[in-house]
Amino acid sequence: MIVTRRMAERRCPSCDHAIDAVTGRGGPPRAGDLTLCWFCADLLVFTSADGDVRAATDAEYSELSAELKSQIASMRAERSRIFAAQRGAS
């Protein structure tokens, strides 16, 4: 089941946008879990269970499985589609 959890506000290290929720399967994020910033689509790594994040390195990205890279690309494409639709509706 997909669940959205509120968390104390953090800032994306790439775009400085506020991050105050995380959506995913299972429990709250743990150190080492991955997420995407919804605003800039950068790949982030949780550094603590408290929701602190840092940008993933190129080396970390290159170590991901082809399946996970494909899922990330799909999420980024969906994000772009939604943002484009929102701009078109304004």
| Domains of the chain, residue spans | 2-89
Nearest to 21 by CA among 31, 43, 36, 32: 36
What is the pLDDT confidence band of residue 88, given thresholds at 50, 70 and 90?
A: confident
The model's pTM is 0.83
Q: What is the pLDDT of residues 19-59, one digit of tens each?
A: 999 888 878 889 999 999 989 999 999 999 888 999 999 99
